[in-house]
Amino acid sequence: MKLLIRAVILALCFGVLPASAEQEKVAIVVYGQNAAAKLYLRVAQTRMEQLLSDNGVIVLDQKKAEELKKSWARLGDPGALITAEDFVENAGRFQISGIYRVYLGVGKTSGLSSIFTATAVADIRFIGEDAKIKSSASAPMGTKGMPPSDGLTESAAVNNAIQRAVDIAAEKFGLQVMDVTNPRLVKFSLKNVAELAADAVEVVPPPLLAADDEIVKYAKLQSDDSISEEPTCVRASTDGRMGAIGTYIMNTTFAFGRPTRTYASRLHIVDLDAGNEVEHFDVSIKDQRYQKGGSKITDCRFLQTWRYVAAVSQSHLIFADTERGVELGRVYFEDSFDKPLLTHLRSGGNDYLQVSEGSRHLYYQIARE
């Protein structure tokens, strides 16, 4: 027994460990699934290397991984059948026990006020010496609870989105993510401005729909003996996948047989693909300290994509982020309107909301914080 203990101590001192204690060594190869992704392969490669290193896995250096990628073209096909013989023939000379293949997709667009917005999806597949494949993929971004990544530059937005996607897929493999990449989000607010620039151009939305349009059935409207909720503004997003339904709510209560009525309004956001409501915002719950007019929503619209939405009532304007369910800005009017209209305009990379009725106009810049 003493001889065994002495042998273990000597092995530790001189760095000689039995084969079973050797660290796993793997390769990482990344493939872009669209043109945008091919420009950012190194970002996914570096993030995956960091995650594996944090989990005690040795990673083949990038130069050799690139050699493996070029010499074994079938790795680029997610559906290709790879046998144990294929693995030995193509990967044997690199002395690795497995390969992580990352299939990367990237989407990017310009957002409000000249920011950039990006999404990414990472499909990671591990193949070992026995040719058994394990796979996991990140959840799609740009959905409820999974916002895209914002940035003041395109690269900042895309880098953040890719790192988030790799983190999510890697966690499903059982890898521990030491420093989680959180969504990078740009915050906005509404800033009152006296007038618009002469070159301001209206962003034309889809037309208003009828109050009984079929998309209204997806909204969770209140209806019982004491509450009635009626649609007053119905509009779809530009891509036709989401809908905004502004409503007018009347609540009737009785005290000693006499009715008392209170009024409010709500903006419902519905997913037309899934056929359900995903979010709602209480636009007006009448408070005499602030509200100086009626509660009825007279106009509503999505801004560029369905991520942002705005609605105007007789007494105020709201601006909200539908994916996070966050109200970003609220303005109470000093003098109320009767039937105000809401317009989205752009000028010099800036976005504005105009509230108007007849010759009266109010302007608000969507400002980055």
75 and 109 in a single domain? The answer is: yes
Give dist(CA 60, CA 94) in Å, integer. 8
- How far is it, in rounded angstroms, from Cα 359 to Cα 342? 14
Residue 203 CB neighbours (<10 A)? 14
pLDDT of residue 1: 44
Quick one: pLDDT at residue 319?
A: 96
Same-domain check for residues 200 and 168: no
* pLDDT the model gives residue 299: 97
Does residue 129 sit in the same domain as residue 75?
yes
Apex CA 142: angle with CA 213 and CA 351, to 5°? 75
User: Contact 231/240 with Cβ under 8 angstroms?
Assistant: no
* Domains: count for the chain: 2
pLDDT of residue 12: 42
CB 109 within 8 A of CB 154: no
pLDDT along the chain (369 residues), means of 10: 44 40 80 96 96 94 93 90 89 91 94 92 93 91 86 95 97 92 91 93 95 96 86 95 94 72 90 93 73 87 90 94 91 93 94 96 94
Residue 121 is predicted with a pLDDT of 97
Range of the domain at 82: 10-186
Q: Both 315 and 255 in a single domain?
A: yes
Place of tokens 């007018």: 248
pTM here is: 0.80
Residues 107 and 222 both lie in one domain: no
What is residue 117's predicted lDDT score, i.e. its pLDDT? Answer: 93
- 1: in domain: no
pLDDT of residue 289: 59
Quick one: 18 and 139 in the same domain? yes
